Chains A and B, each alone.
Chain A
Amino acid sequence: MVNLFHIRASVVLALAALGISSCQSNTATLPIYGQREPVEKIVDGKTITDTLYHTIPAFKFLNQDSIYITDKNYDNKVYIANFFFTHCPSICPTMNRNLLKVYEQYKDSDQVYFLSHSIDFKYDQPHVLKEYAHKLGVSNDHWNFVTGSKADIYGIANQYLVYTAEDKNAPGGYDHQGYLVLIDKQKRIRGAYDGTNDEQVAKLQKELAILLQEK
């Protein structure tokens, strides 16, 4: 495990170094997060080693219009994902207030989409999510607010590397992290930003622009 961590740390460092050096030539790239493993492939008769990156797996959730949203909706699209619940009294208002800023910047563009998962699988039915989206100021279908079974939602949270849990001692009954997770066109995690921190949100806006430059 330690070894694996070392390998990952050095890969991250190498990528960071790459980022710094490439910064000078104005072609910065974002790191790729999560577990990775080498795979051997045969290309043109030669065996080469490629890297298999962690990707967001297939999913299917009901959105605020009671339409099923799947991973297919995000094929070849950059999107930002987060986890919240509508009557969350703690970090969610600030997190979604900040995500709304990014949404307003990109809502008319086909380049960036938004996906908020409710972790309150009991209360946040589609009509509740619909009202929330409307009151927040979301005016088109580029930002989905989705609900699903507890296993599916909490399971996908793990895939986004975001901690979520039902906890009766937490404000509102659920405990979770306020990360805004940046996903690229190949469904790889390219950044995670604390949605309650203004500097982190500014960093997200900057790095999102970098990601959009990628082919």
Chain B
Amino acid sequence: MNILFQVALRNVFRNRRRSLFTLSALVVGLAVVLMITAVANSFHRFSVENAVNAKLGALQIHRSGYMNNLSLNPLSFKFEYSRDLLEKIESVRGVKAASGRIAFRGLVSNGRNQALFFANAVDVSREEKVCPRWLGALTLGSSALLSTDSAHAMVGHELARSLSVAPRAGVPAEGDASFIEAAPVEVASDTLNLSAASPEGRQNAVDVQVKATIRSLLPIEEKRSMVVPLSLAQSLLGMAGKVTEIAVAVDELDEISTVQRELQLVLGSEYEVSSWADVQPFLRDIVFRQRVMIAIVSVILFVLVLFVIANTMTMAVFERTREIGTMLSVGIKRGQIQTIFFSEALFVGVVGGFIGLVLGLVGVLITHRIGIPFGSVGFERGILRPFLTLEFVVAAFCVAVLCSGIAGIFPAKRAAGMNPVDALRSN
């Protein structure tokens, strides 16, 4: 090994306490960055999966122009819900399932009072493959919609309360529905009347039986939302065989961009394929903002680590002034002095980075195995599983080493800039 690196390496071990302190700063800094990023990643994935599996679907297909004209008459963007189209969609690599929907609004009445509603009409038999948790959080006494249901509805809990309706107790829900306690409803009936306008503006009405009431995180959903079978909506709206959107589930959420591209290619310009992020930009923005916050925290941690290393290295330079003078007297060049101190910082960076990496990964692995319990109304009662991407791990390690390198530049330059006479005179 080059004598300069030998000197650098031995000096790291020479003052063990100080090196240990510097290493600890780097180890703790990197491990904390890895841990908080892993937990944040798991929360982001949990939130996105929850939204995708509960309501959105990973991708949504609409007639071109639908997304830009939501405020006009979304029903006018109806299209044929054919087996051919579904087969075409499901033939794309990465697509797991597809299911047709109609999103519409209208008035709901119990005969005495009426209220505005926003409904999702779903193809019940297919929907559970696209959004496994589409049933949401049903209240006790509810039962889920079945594919054989044609005049039934699931109603937001607050909407049901305001209209004094509740499901008839009895048949338990199937599938993944979770049942939760809810404030008792003063029940007058289990039947409601829905009225809505067709795409052409023709009014129609239909009676539905309330099979379930749904709880949600969002008050607007509790007060206004309904889920009805697709066939009921098609009949009510005069849209036989038509839908306004097809929700698509993908095999891997991480591959969503590729699948989106492929689908768009297969379907052509007549349709537009949107991802969950396009449909729910606020969720995408929340994820983005949280990532920015984590990045800021990480940068602050790395800057602190940088200052700790720079400080201890500068102390080392002061303590070794005469040694530097000695080396200068035997003919070492300024660049070589820099190499010694820079190598010391870099060595601390590599070792500290490696230990921090191992420690952080072990922490992530343990929390991933154990899981962090997480859940609230509207969310799946689940467990967060912290995880990291390989790219981030490599980047974090490189940044840690880079920080050490940068921290070493100033002390190394200081050491190299010493006057040999003054350095030799130092005590």
**Same assembly:** no
B→A interface (CB under 8 Å): none
